[in-house]
Amino acid sequence: MKMKKRLRKKKHCGEFTERGRQLVIMRNQKDGFDEFLDAFIEEAIESNGCYCGGGGKEDKLDVVVELGRRSDNPAARLKRITAWLDARPDVQNWRVGEEFDVWHGDFQDIDDDNRRVLPSGD
């Protein structure tokens, strides 16, 4: 049975699936983390119509970035975010994980040596 559009939207399925990626950022300094985080959220995340969640301290930030639906061109949004990181003198390096469904997909932590896959909780 095909799900009606209203339900697909409510359940974030089909054309309403929201894509995301893990982003781990290493900074070359331990001070100024709060200022960096504020700038990252405002200038890289929110200015691109994205959301993020996660945390960090001092020289490391580990977040999951919600990049939007396929129609929002998540690859272009990610490119703008990583370009912002590349332009920052206080960013030493960054790594990005595989794309996944932020509502129903399996998340694979890029910092986990065993590459453990966490179930989606359906």
In this prediction, residue 44 carries a pLDDT of: 97
pLDDT per residue of the chain (122 residues) written in tens, 0 to 9 = 688 999 989 998 888 889 999 999 999 999 999 999 999 999 999 999 999 999 999 999 999 999 999 889 999 999 999 999 999 999 999 999 999 999 988 778 887 643 434 343 43
What pLDDT does 81 receive? 97
Residue 104 · residue 18 · CB < 8 Å:
no
What CA–CA distances, in Å, run from 13 to 29, 46, 65, 109, 117? 41, 23, 18, 23, 21
Domains plus CATH for the chain?
A: 18-103 (3.30.70.260)
| pLDDT score of 38 | 96
